Amino acid sequence: MSFETERNAHRAWRLPANASLLQGGVMLLAFGILVAAAIWPLTGSVLAIVIAVLAAATVVGLALRIPPWAAMRLYGGRPHDPAALQQAEGLIAELSARAGLRRSPRLYVIPSTLLSAFSVGSAQASAIAVTEGLLRRLTLREIAAVLAREVSLIAFGDLLAFGIADIVTRIAQALYYVGLALAALNLFRLISGEDLVSWLTVALFVLAPALLNLLQLRLPRARDFQVDRGAALMTGDALGLASAISRLETPAGSLKDDLLPPVPARKVPLPSLLRYPAATERRIAQLRTLDPPPMPPIDIEEGPRISLVGVGPIAMRPRYRWPGVWF
């Protein structure tokens, strides 16, 4: 089968182009409404709407402009050593070619024992982060499947929506702390007899992370199944992806913990809850029923993998990292 035929077969798995953009748009709209409602008592209706629109535009600008290396620094990611991870480098190059990407994503390693991976950037400039625990505990076949899924997200154009969700999540967490500061200010003003900041403003700021996280969890998850299919097609190994999914780490605690103060999302090993996948059992069941993909399997030869990013138990242990990610 020719490469062009293989690439066209891969494209056949894609969701409509507006699927991820719709999710990003919903997140932006909800963020704008929350900001406008929170500052309305302080500024009035017109100025509140103007500020909300500017805030939403800033989020989009940041999502489009932040380079992948800068985003990776927020999560402690370090560029991998090509000499130490030659197998992963080769896999990313092969997967990128199969996905039709002009540039291969750069691989970053996060020093953590959790099993997690995510991607940032765009099809023109992207990066994939994998944790040290994933490299150490998954087989190369499973690592290939995880990398294929991230490459699928890049090829499908989903990273803009994820970038918007990630930035909105960080801003919401900052608003949480602003809300706490305003609550403390109100208590001081109660004592001194001064005018209070609107308690509606305080409440919306404090609840901002929980409200936006809940919205992310309620967005449709059909994209997850489509990305799984794209990854299975690229590797020619649906069962390898099913095996990887069954082993990937889920957040410590329950999702309820990540919707309640203090600091919601503190236990999610991903930049935002929009990246939180659909039910593992359903995804595995669908992968097991896929027809044999038309793309030939990637030739994978297990061998020793060396990674010294997270040296020692202190650097490697999962822990809360500001602003709200559990790595």
Please say if the pLDDT value at position 289 is more than 60.
Answer: yes
What pLDDT sits at residue 24? Answer: 87
Q: Indicate if the pLDDT at residue 20 is higher than 80.
A: no
* Helices (H), ranges, 75-158: 86-99, 132-137, 140-156
Instruction: Note the pLDDT of residue 46.
Output: 92
pLDDT of residue 40: 95
- Mean pLDDT, rounded, of the chain: 82
Helix or strand or coil: residue 294? coil
Residues 129-163 pLDDT 10s: 998 888 888 888 999 999 999 999 998 888 999 99
For 317, phi and psi rounded to 5 degrees? -75, 145
Nearest residue to 210 via CA among 75, 30, 3: 30
Q: Which residue in 6, 94, 142, 150 is the catalytic one?
A: 150
Active site residue 150: yes
Nearby residues of 20 by Cβ (< 8 Å), 6 or more positions away: 156, 157, 158, 160, 161, 162, 223
Q: Considering only 6-15, 65-74, 112-121, 256-265, which range has the smallest mean pLDDT?
A: 6-15
Q: Give the start-to-end residue ranges of the domains of the chain.
A: 68-326
* Cα–Cα distance, 13 to 291 (Å, whole number): 13
pLDDT, residue 56, reads 95
**pLDDT digits 0-9 by tens, 84-127:** 677 888 899 999 988 888 899 999 988 888 888 999 998 889 99
